[in-house]
Structure 1
Amino acid sequence: MQRQLLFLGFLLATLVKFSQAECNICSSESNVACVSKNKYQNCSANAIPTGTVYTCPNNTFCTGLPEKCTSNEAVASCNECRKCDGIIPFACTSPTTFALCNAVNEIASTEYPCSTGEVCLSQIGNPCVASPNGTSASCSYYALIDDLCIQKSSTGRFPYPNDLSCLKYVHCFRKGSTWSGNSWQCPSSKPFFSASTSTCVATKPATCA
């Protein structure tokens, strides 16, 4: 009996892990990518999240299951951010930053940035890896953006969090009863975002890497 219970527990854990979609990664089950705990995008033919960002209805959660959204929070995607698992010695704290984990699985207060063009992936041994399409991070880009816009509570353009390259910015706006936002890339003619003017400029600001 005890052996059967242990087997059932292992099976349940395996099913939960299988059904959890990795954040920003296209699921072969649903052909969508969960981009936050309750948001998703459809996937292109070459498995890149693209286009409109959809919100799961009725307070449900995005998952790797074929139905895309579920009321079972245990199988929700984008749950790996700011978590120490006792195996990998670091945790991603945003799409492009990480912190070390201590002996009791707590995150240290000091955060380290990934290099330009890299993202943090908690599923591998090295915290930062190159991401040509910028989508494969363990933490949600949209949760980071929404947190920024809720904090600002103002319509306008703001520096993208933790982006030392200054190539992106966030446009915040009020959506219904809450604040939300989208990220944008500055055009090639004016590739850098200036925090002082809230516009894209041709010359790199001194505060940018």
Structure 2
Amino acid sequence: MAKDLQIVLALCFVCLVGHVVTDCNVCQTNQAACINSTSFYLCFGDGMPHTDRIYNCLEGTVCTARTAICVQKNAQWPPSCGDTSKCGQCSAHRNHKFACQSRGTFQMCYGATRPTGALGFCPPGYACDASSDVVCTPERVGQTFTCDLHDDLVSTSTTTPTTTVTTASPTTVSTTTESTALSPDAFCRASFKGIPIHAIPNDTVCTSYIYCRFYINTWVGRIIDCPAANPYFNGWTRCCGTVKATRPGCLQG
């Protein structure tokens, strides 16, 4: 009898462990791919997440592999992917020095309860870590992120500490004078590996740029707006400034 009980307990333990954490952005049996603890893409049976739209769980629920996708959080069935409870929280750092807004972005707190100022970006291969005083630490296998939110889900057009998840279609980047277009992720994977900041090809407005970073064995990118004080991006200096470039691609001259 004792041996049978041990077998039953072992099987129960295996079942629970199997539901603790799954890979992020991977299609589950419920045809959802959780991208953090409260958001997901749909898969529609083809085995690939459809990233044109982000779906958000209702408040108080988390994204899981269960049929309902979003269920009330409990110890027996935690979210399938990541933890966003410390996103934007100055209190996550023992000295209220900074707050992680995503895996690779942060804002400074300077001892206050709410972060302030522009977003900061960790270098490629580094992640925001509120358990450390150096803000960004090298990414490692099995790492637990302070704010397990993908960088491209963070609003870069505001300096408020609230992390914003959008439902809009991803911005496309024109790569030729014809109709061919690439997403920021595809642009970063296709061109200029090793350089994080790029002008948007054939851009004539020049008020934003592409930021690339190497994450989990691939390049990912996002569109970032220049701040109001320096509204124009210069593709030659790779900086935002007060003078608008005149050539296509936001280059001077």
With the length of structure 1 as denominator, give the TM-score of the two structures.
0.49
- Between Structure 1 and Structure 2, the one with more helix by share is 1
With the length of structure 2 as denominator, give the TM-score of the two structures.
0.42
